[in-house]
Amino acid sequence: MLINGRKGQQVLMMGNEAIARGALEAGVNVVAGYPGTPSSEITQTLARVAPKRNLYVEWSVNEKVALEVAAAASFAGLRSMCVMKQVGVNVAADFLLHLALYGTRGGMVLVSCEDPGALSSTNEGESRLYAQMMEFPLLEPGDFQEALDMTRWAFELSESIRNVVMIRSVTRMSHASGNVTLGELPERTARAYYDFKGPLLGDMAGPVATLPGTVDFMHRRQQEKLKKLEGLYDASPFNTYTGPEGPELLVITSSACHLYCREAIELLEVSGRVGLLKLGTTWPLPPRWLESHLTAAEKVLVVEEVLGCMENTIKAFAMERIDRIGPTAFFGKADGAVPSTNELNPDRVMAAMAGILQITPPGLAPEYAARAAEIAKTGAPVRALTLCPGCPHRASFWSIHQAMAMDDREGFVCGDIGCYTLAAAGTGFHALKTIHAMGSGAGLASGFGKLAAFGFHQPVMAVCGDSTFFHAVMPALVNAVHHRANITLVILDNSGTAMTGFQPHPGIGVDAMGGTAPALDIPDICRSMGAKVSLCDPFDIPKTRKTLLAQVEDTDGVKVVVMRQPCALSPQRKHKKGFRMSIDPERCLGASCGCNRLCTRVFKCPGLTWDRENDSARIDEVICAGCGVCASICPSGAIQAKEDA
Amino acid sequence: MNGETAALTADPFNLIITGVGGQGNVLASRIVADVMAQLGCFVTIGETFGASQRGGSVMSHLRISSRSSYSPQIPRGRAHMVVALEPTEAIRVLSAYGNPETRVICNTRPIHSMGVICGEQSYPSQAEMRGWIQELSRTAWFIDTTEAAVSLGNPIFGNIMAVGALAAAGVLPLSRDRFETAIRQKMPESKVSVNLAAFDLGRKMISSQK
């Protein structure tokens, strides 16, 4: 559908697919990104069609390099796009500041997919403020069609002001699907050429370099570019108003909140009283158009998720024009009408509107709601997130947990971002004691590992995934080796960026488009940095535990343990079970064993359940992945593994 | 709009397909949405997926309308139909999105959560679950898709059986022909017949209860 869909055809598309199609309709040539929910499908989808569309797509090592790769294409006159999740923009921010200061050549679009409510993140940070802070345009699609149309237009916009344009999506847009009418796919035969031969500070020729002594000129030029947008935005079809002239309440919104606001107005039956102003160009603001709507309203509610970015800029905007707009009562984050944390939904927006309009939102069968809540308390046991059946991380953390417990000096593990973040919970035996950004486990360990002079004697371990190793751990490891920090770094190498859908990374011999690529060897890299490196198979519990204990006891410098086992869901496993597992009823002693049901109470693999009637462990054939690890944890040897033919 | 979309029993029609990560929730919702889009409806599917959903509760919100696109989140208490691939998930969804008029199709095979496996929580009995789901719905159909799906060679077909069951419930214009068109667009030819068989088995599970 992405490349076979004809102009005018109506299709159902995920928001991320619509963004990808919009980029194709703009004739994008180069796409670079780093995987991260909810952004990954954009780059992944484009990688699949790359050979057919004169397109180069790569999963870069991290977001900063991805932005640099995309910028190079722009400097060479091509259209390029860079895709990441909200936290990635922080990684790319250093380059982004310089990029926006000088400007771009070929159209360049940065897509940030954010996660209000942290549905798939460890934070609900956002990147909208970067647009204001670093002074480039920000666009936010308000439905699926706009996700496509706005992306296509963003490339033109970028070329009209010769600067990067940011499109911000959210989980409920990126991962939701809706009706989209396709546009035309152009034939583009772009040729790349970097024209460095013009004068310094040239727009389309000359070296692209942010130099001291030229900052004032570049900065003024950048701000003039933004000024140019005002007229353009006032007439933009992405800024819309629906509602009466002179509404009792003007609701200003953007992004997925647009759909929530529309539904809230419908359910409250207040379309005659409330006007809905949807901004697509959220920064800078469309001045004349916005002013006329603010003038027509005395009460304004700004509906946006998490921080009040729009609210603050609109308040400042209104204050500057107060003689024309007149006094306005603003509702939103500052007065608490709209919550400043978590995502919004039609109910939360309805509550905010109903409060201001002093009406009661339609209640639905209150006795039903109370009874249903009561039933759910016992009828719907909470499903805590858990590592998958056969997950190599469960085996790794089993050994890590045991080694740390046996060592008995209150050692601890610093973690970061990946499926293995779950090891902070019971599914990973509560092994992780710090969790922050990608690579931060190694960096924190490097710091903890230098505290001996202050009486610190706790063994310190850090864990990271293979993709994370390349993304952000390498500098931390260099730091730890150089400063002789006393730490053990465990690299949980499951052969891919598993959490986000098995995207390749520099350690894998294939690239985003499926071509072969040289694979960098993680143990070799660590050895060349001067770390002591051992390798083990986490499914071999006794050997792994022994290796780990030896590292923890070694107090001299940086030790690296690479634990290698592909992810249980990895396509390379092809859903084949390594072992056929069974319980020997003669050997399983049930509650009288004395192991306190180690297999099910502590090991906690979804494939290993407890048969209450027979007082015995039981293998759930449908769920068991056949990794064989549980055979080595049962003290009576009741769990048996037979190699699967 | 043609006559069939006018046959929507509510506009927007709010459908939730729920289950546990790995049961094929996303595909089931996509197939239903494709069929409704073929009919010229506006369809929004709201869902979340990613590693954080593994082993966790998942749900897809479908908004089907002849008039316009609706938000990817159904307001509380406004589901018209809940299709549950796991029984306790039906209860969880009803407690947030159900009302006395909500209809339910529920696969009865439990998937025990980790809390249940390790003995920290208890899992309700079949009788309790059926009673509660009946109490919280206008009509509830109970089916066992998992056993039948295993007979087709893979428990994953349970999701397509649930789509077949939904077709037989008569709340949406979801015909076998249109299902076949949608499945042909999504799957290679070799997978079409087994998916049709799963759809038919699901359909029969409802029609035999009528």
Asked if residue A365 is part of any domain, the answer here is no
Residue B55 to residue A606, Cβ atoms within 8 A: yes
Q: Is B120 exposed, middle or buried (0-12, 13-18, 19+ CB in 10 A)?
A: middle
Total domains, chain A: 4
- A101 and A198 co-located in one domain: yes
* A315 neighbors A135 (Cβ within 8 angstroms): no
**Residue A530 domain-assigned?**
yes
Residue linked to tokens 């140019």: A228
Q: Do B77 and A364 touch (CB under 8 A)?
A: yes
Is the peptide bond preceding residue A571 cis, with omega within 30 degrees of 0?
Answer: no
Asked whether residue A226 is assigned to any structural domain, the reply reads yes
B 98-127 near A (Cβ less than 8 A): 98-100, 111-119, 121-124
Tell me the one-letter amino acid at A51. P
Contact B77 A369 (CB under 8 A): yes
Strand B139-143 and strand B81-84: pairing?
unpaired
Residues of B in contact with A419 (CB under 8 A): 51, 54
B153 lies within 8 A of chain A by CB: no
Burial class (CB in 10 A: 0-12, 13-18, 19+), A528: exposed
Q: Which chain A residues are closer than 8 Å to B72 by Cβ? A: 172-173, 176, 178, 256, 259
Q: Do A604 and B95 touch (CB under 8 A)?
A: no
Retrieve residue A84's tokens.
């990441």
CB contact under 8 A, A372 and B136: yes
Distances (CA, A) of A20 to A16, A37, A49, A514: 6, 15, 10, 18
Inter-chain residue contact B51 with A120, CB threshold 8 Å: yes
Distance CA A165, CA A304 (A): 20
Same domain (yes/no): A601, A563: no
What radius of gyration, in Å, describes the C-alpha atoms of chain B? 16
Q: What is the pLDDT of residues A454-471, one digit of tens each?
A: 999 999 999 999 999 999
Q: Which residues contact A377 (CB under 8 A, 6 or more apart)?
A: none
Contact A604 B114 (CB under 8 A): yes
CB neighbour burial string for A396-419, b if at least 16 within 10 angstroms, e if fewer:
bbbbbbbbbeeeeeebbbbbbbbb
Give the sign of the dihedral formed by CA A80, CA A86, CA A92, CA A95: positive
ipTM of the complex: 0.94
- Residue A19 confidence class, pLDDT cut points 50, 70, 90: very high
Q: Which residues of A touch B69 (CB under 8 A)?
A: 143-144, 178-179, 259
Tens of pLDDT, residue by residue, chain B (210 residues): 445 555 789 999 999 999 988 888 999 999 999 999 999 999 999 986 654 456 788 999 999 999 999 999 999 999 999 999 999 999 999 999 999 999 999 999 998 888 888 888 899 999 999 999 999 999 999 999 988 888 888 878 999 999 999 999 999 999 999 999 999 998 999 999 999 999 999 999 998 886
Q: Which residues of A touch B98 (CB under 8 A)?
A: 368, 372
Instruction: Just give the CATH number of B3-207.
Output: 3.40.920.10
The pLDDT value given to residue B2: 46
How many CB atoms sit inside 10 A of residue B27's CB?
Answer: 19
- Note the pLDDT tens digit of each residue in A336-367: 999 999 999 999 999 999 999 999 998 778 89
A167/A147 Cα distance (integer angstroms): 9
Secondary structure letter of residue A169 according to DSSP? E
Asked if residue A645 has pLDDT above 90, the reply is no
A542 domain residue, yes or no:
yes
**Domain span at A34:** 10-234
- The Cα–Cα gap between B157 and B24 comes to 8
* Pair (A340, A432) in one structural domain: no
Which residues in chain B have their CB less than 8 angstroms from residue A173's CB? Answer: 72
A382, B135: Cβ pair inside 8 Å? no
Contact assessment for residue A622 and residue B155, using Cβ atoms and an 8 Å cutoff: yes
Amino acid at B29: S
Q: What is the pLDDT of residue B50?
A: 54
Residues in chain A: 645
Asked if residue A504 lies in contact with residue A496, where contact means CB atoms within 8 angstroms, the answer is: yes
Over range A216-233, report the average pLDDT: 94
Boundary residue ending a domain (A212, A234, A256): A234
CA torsion through residues A236, A239, A242, A248, sign: negative
Q: What are phi and psi of A581, to 5 degrees?
A: -95, 145
Measured between CA atoms, the residue of chain B closest to residue A39 is B50
CA angle A278, A279, A283 (to 5 degrees): 165
Average pLDDT (A110-117) is: 97
Reading the block at residue A638, the tokens are 């009741």
* DSSP helix, strand, coil percent of chain A (3-state; round to 5): 40, 20, 40
> Are residue A290 and residue A406 in the same domain, yes or no?
no
Long-range contacts of A217-221 (CB under 8 A, 24+ apart): A218/A101, A218/A102, A218/A103, A219/A101, A221/A103
Residues of A in contact with B51 (CB under 8 A): 37, 120, 419, 498-500
- The CA-atom distances, in angstroms, between A373 and each of A360, A367, A379 are 22, 10, 9
Decide the pairing of beta strands A177-181 and A165-170.
unpaired
Alpha helices in A235-345 (DSSP H): 257-268, 287-295, 309-320, 322-325
Q: Tell me the three state secondary structure of residue A480.
A: helix
Binary contact (B72, A386; C-beta < 8 A): no
CB contact under 8 A, B94 and A345: no
Which range, of A69-83, A228-242, A463-477, averages the lowest pLDDT?
A228-242
Task: State whether residue A115 is helix, strand or coil.
Answer: coil
CB A35 within 8 A of CB A503: yes
Reference B208, options B144, B119, B134, B154; nearest CA is B144
* Smallest Cα distance from B32 to chain A, Å: 11
How many other CB atoms are there within 10 angstroms of residue A475's CB atom? Answer: 12
Of A210, A234, A258, the one marking the end of a domain is A234
Test B71 with A604 for CB contact under 8 angstroms. no
Residue-wise pLDDT tens digits, A259-297: 999 999 999 999 999 999 999 999 999 999 999 999 999
Both tokens assigned to A152: 């296509």
CA distance A144 to chain B (A): 9
A·B CB contacts under 8 A: 191
Q: Is B206 helix (H, G, I), strand (E, B) or coil?
A: helix
Strand extents, DSSP E, A232-304: 240-242, 249-253, 274-278, 281-283, 299-303
Residues in A closer than 8 angstroms to B46, CB to CB, are 172, 176
Based on the domain organization, do A561 and A601 belong to the same domain?
A: no
Nearest-neighbour CA in chain A from B166: distance (Å): 21
Q: A1, A9, A11, A12: which to substitute to probe chain B, counting the most B Cβ within 10 Å?
A: A12
Q: Is the dihedral of CA A495, A497, A502, A508 positive or negative?
A: negative
Six token digits for residue A509 = 């011999």
Give residues with Cβ within 8 angstroms of A189, minimum separation 6. A54
Among A100, A1, A98, residue whose Cα is nearest residue A45: A1
Q: Which two tokens stand for residue A288?
A: 């004349």
CATH number at residue A619: 3.30.70.20
Q: Which two tokens stand for residue A175?
A: 């991962």
Q: Of A452, A458, A442, which is closest to residue A560 (Cα–Cα)?
A: A442
* Number of separate helices (H) and strands (E) present in chain B: 9, 6
**Last residue of a domain, which of A332, A357, A382?**
A357
Q: Are B66 and B36 in contact (CB under 8 A)?
A: no
Are the Cβ atoms of A597 and B119 closer than 8 angstroms? yes
User: Is the same domain home to A349 and A418?
Assistant: no
DSSP helix, strand, coil percent of chain B (3-state; round to 5): 45, 15, 35
Residues A527 and A426 in one domain: yes
Burial of A307 (0-12, 13-18, 19+ CB in 10 A): middle
Identify which of A365, A382, A609 has the shortest CB distance to residue B115.
A382
Do both A271 and A158 map to the same domain? no
- What is the nearest CA distance from B28 to chain A, expressed in angstroms? 14
Which residues are within 8 A (CB) of A617 and not within 5 positions of it... i.e. 6 or more apart?
A583, A588, A597, A599, A600, A608, A609, A610, A611, A634, A638, A639
Other C-beta atoms closer than 10 Å to the C-beta of A209 total 12
Number of residues that this document lists for chain B? 210
Q: Apex CA B38: angle with CA B32 and CA B41, to 5°?
A: 80
For chain A, the average pLDDT equals 95
* Domain assignment of residue A386, yes or no: no
User: Which residue type sits at A228?
Assistant: K
Cα–Cα separations (whole angstroms), residue B66 to A107, A556, B9, B35, B162: 38, 70, 11, 14, 24
Please provide the DSSP assignment of B2-48 as one string. -HHHHT-SSSSEEEEEEEETTS-HHHHHHHHHHHHHHTT-EEEEE--
Do A448 and A334 have their domain in common? no
Assigned domain for A416 exists: yes
Residue A628 in any domain: the answer is yes
To the nearest whole Å, the CA of A489 is away from the closest chain B CA by: 24
Residues A67, A203: one domain?
Answer: yes
CA gap A338, A348 in Å, rounded: 8
Which CATH number characterizes residue A440's domain?
3.40.50.970
Quick: pLDDT tens for A124-178: 999 999 999 999 999 999 999 999 999 999 999 999 999 999 999 999 999 999 9
**Sequence ranges of the domains in chain B:** 3-207
Tokens 């970097």 -> residue: A194
Of B33, B75, B88, the CB nearest to A381: B88
Region of B160 (left: φ > 0; alpha: ψ -120 to 50; beta: rest) is alpha
Assigned domain for A281 exists? yes
The yes-or-no verdict on residue A534 having pLDDT over 70 is: yes
A contacts of B122 (beta carbons < 8 Å) = 378, 381
Judged by a CB distance cut-off of 8 A, whether residue B34 touches chain A is yes
Secondary structure of residue A33 in the 3-state scheme:
strand
C-alpha span between A373 and A617 (Å, rounded):
33
pLDDT the model gives residue B104:
98
Q: Do A379 and B91 touch (CB under 8 A)?
A: yes
Per the listing, tokens 């727009």 go with A203
Residues ≥6 apart with Cβ < 8 Å to A50: A31, A56, A57, A512, A513
Provide the pLDDT for residue B4: 58
CB contact under 8 Å between A12 and B34, yes or no, is yes
Reported as type and span, the H/E element at residue A133 is: helix A128-134
CB contact under 8 A, A368 and B122: no
- B56 interfaces chain A, CB cutoff of 8 Å: yes
